[in-house]
Amino acid sequence: MTAIILDGKQLAQDMRGELAEEVTDFFENNSITPKLAAVLVGEDPASEVYVRNKQIACQKAGIESELHRLDADTAEDDLLALITRLNKDNDVHGILVQLPLPGHISTERILRAVNPMKDVDAFHPENVGLLVQGRPRYLPCTPSGVREILRRYEVPTVGKHIVIAGRSDIVGKPLANMLLTRGADGDATVTVCHSKTSDLAEITRTADILVAAIGRPRMLTAEMIKPGAVVVDVGINRTEDGLVGDVDFDGAKEIASHITPVPRGVGPMTVTMLLFNTLQAARLQAF
């Protein structure tokens, strides 16, 4: 058995076409163009590529974007001053602070400073709390992309055992909360594993749906996957072989029923969901 490929890149392209139509409709009815402001501190190569991809995606969807570049040695107070200015700018609907930030800047303090209504990454404590309560304002982009892949490829979650390998605030924790909510895209039994989990393989082999978000290349092997399971690989790792995920793809695809590749998997969906959040932010701020 060779797994069905869950092509996130193609799905993202399809969804961005839908988004462009929604943006056009929103402008025609409100004379407002959604606008995203991105803040990049320093010159991290991966962050540079990610921000550039977001700008291109915004342009194609009809969303305005602006990039604020700051030197790596920018003082924390200067960054806070920029965020305050963007918070007050009524033409800016979404604010994205590209992570990671330089070590001398408190990530927690910066994320708290972003107006929750403009927090399209859904990192602000207020938006995290709303998600935990099951009434999210915005859905975190990568977890939302994972859930959208499952939904659009008609992979059911109701009653399924979903194992998430990784407990980060960006992926593991929010995704677990999303999959626990009542409804057709949730109602799962969720287990979250992490670096202190005993006998990881024993747990991953019980998963109907296995989500890998560990940050270690090819850590999850075929022997750790239940035959017929759906595998979603969130990992992006740069190696001598190029970009690889947290799953050993070649082995896993012979065991799983469905699998996301790396690249062309979850990554393109993350950017797409950010754009949908920016449109949602514009809608909420218009009324």
CATH number, domain containing residue 101: 3.40.50.10860
Task: Identify whether 147 is part of a domain.
Answer: yes
Known active-site residue 173:
no
What pLDDT was estimated at residue 241? 86
What pLDDT was estimated at residue 1? 67
Task: Identify whether 282 is part of a domain.
Answer: no
pLDDT tens sequence across 219-243: 999 999 999 999 999 999 989 989 9
What pLDDT was estimated at residue 276? 98
Do residues 236 and 265 lie in contact, with contact meaning Cβ atoms separated by under 8 Å?
no
pLDDT of 200 over the 70 cut: yes
Catalytic residue among 121, 208, 233, 246: 121
pLDDT of 287 over the 80 cut: no
Do residues 164 and 192 lie in contact, with contact meaning Cβ atoms separated by under 8 Å?
yes
Mean pLDDT value of segment 216-221:
96
Residue for token digits 């929103």?
26
Name the least confident of 54-58, 126-130, 259-263. Answer: 54-58
What pLDDT was estimated at residue 149? 98
259 and 171 in one domain? yes
Task: Identify whether 174 is part of a domain.
Answer: yes
What pLDDT was estimated at residue 64? 97
CA–CA dist 261, 99 (Å, integer): 24
Task: Identify whether 246 is part of a domain.
Answer: yes
Task: Identify whether 134 is part of a domain.
Answer: no
pLDDT bin (cut points 50, 70, 90) of residue 284 is: very high
Task: Identify whether 280 is part of a domain.
Answer: no
Known active-site residue 54:
yes
Prior bond of 156 cis (ω within 30°): no
Residue for token digits 């190696």?
239
Host domain of residue 231: 141-267
CB-neighbour burial class of residue 31 (10 A; exposed 0-12, middle 13-18, buried 19+) = exposed
For residue 245, what is the domain's CATH number?
3.40.50.720
The chain-wide mean pLDDT, for the chain, equals 96
Catalytic residue among 35, 54, 173, 226: 54
Q: In the chain, what percentage of residues exceed pLDDT 90?
A: 93
Name the least confident of 47-51, 68-72, 86-90, 137-141. Answer: 47-51
Sheet with 35-41, strands from edge to edge, namely 64-70, 35-41, 94-97
Mean pLDDT value of segment 257-266:
97
Mean pLDDT value of segment 150-169:
97
- When divided into structural domains, the chain yields a total of 2
Known active-site residue 98:
yes
What pLDDT was estimated at residue 50? 83
